[in-house]
Amino acid sequence: MSIDRHDWFCKWFDSPYYHVLYKHRDDKEAESFINNIIKHLGVRPDDKVMDLACGKGRHAIYLNKKGFDVTGVDLSPRSIAYANQFSNSRLKFFVHDMREVYARESFDLILNLFTSFGYFEKEEDNFKAIKAIADSLKKGGLAVLDFMNTPKVIRNLVEEEIIKVDGIEFRVKKKLEKGFIKKEILFYADGKEQRQAEKVKAITQEDFIKYFNFAGLKISEIFGDYQLNEYSEANSDRMIFILRHNH
C-alpha cells in the first residue's frame, strides 16, 4: 500500500509545530502507565515489543531502558529520523504504515498508545490496521490499544481554546462532524498565518469490537485510565483494550 502524503497526518505529524503544541504531554504519566501495563501483563525481558505509531520514540526508548527488545514504527520520516539517534542492538526504528504487516508473527507485545489510531478517512483502513496488528503477533501474543473514551470526549468537547507554547499562540477549534472529532489549529509562525487540521474518528467500543472480531483478536480486559482502573463509559478518561491473539 502506498502512503498518500496528502493525508493530513502525514503533513502535520511531520511538522515541527506539532511537537511544539504537544510538548506538554506528561512523560511521567506515560512512564507510569507503561510500568503498570508491563507489570500487569507480566512482560518478560526476552519478549519482543513493538511500539506502533511511536512518534519520536519516547515510549520505545523508555521500554528499551527497562530492558526490552523494542521496534518503534511510525509514518513520519522526521520523527523516525529523530528517534534513530537512540537506536541500539535492542532498539530499532522504521518508517512504516500501520495498515501493513511489519513482520508477520514476530512480536510478543504490540503497544498502540495515547490515541494513535482513528486517523484514516476510510473505515476499511481501520480494519486493515487492526488486522495488521493481529498478523504481527506471535501465537498467544498481546496487544494494548489505548484510545480516548469517545463518549466522554464528545460530551465535554470544548469548541474553542487558546494554547500558548514557546511564544506561539495556537487557536484550537473542535467539533464533531460526520463521525469524526475535528480540530482546526490556527497559529502565526515563520512570518505567516498557518493552519493545520486534525481528524480522529469517534470510534466507539462497539466499533472496536467489530475490528477485533474481524482480526481474530479477543478482548481480555478493558481499563479506563493509566492506573488500570475498570472502564466506565460515563466516567473514564481512556478506553484501554488488552487484546490476545491465539491464531
Q: What distance in Å separates the CA atoms of residue 246 and residue 134, rounded to the nearest whole number? A: 9
Whether pTM exceeds 0.75 = yes
> Which helix (H) or strand (E) covers residue 200, if one does?
strand 192-201
Structure confidence at residue 150 (pLDDT):
96
Confidence band, pLDDT 50/70/90 cuts, at residue 26: low
Into which CATH architecture does domain 8-148+204-245 fall? Answer: 3-Layer(aba) Sandwich (3.40)
Q: Which residue has the higher pLDDT, 37 or 186?
A: 37
Q: Dump pLDDT digits (tens) for 216-227.
A: 999 999 999 999
Residue spans per domain, the chain: 8-148+204-245, 153-198
Asked if residue 49 lies in contact with residue 111, where contact means CB atoms within 8 angstroms, the answer is yes
pLDDT digits (tens, 9 = 90+) for 38-50: 999 999 989 999 9
Spell out the residues 6+ positions from residue 210 whose beta carbon is closer than 8 angstroms to its own: none
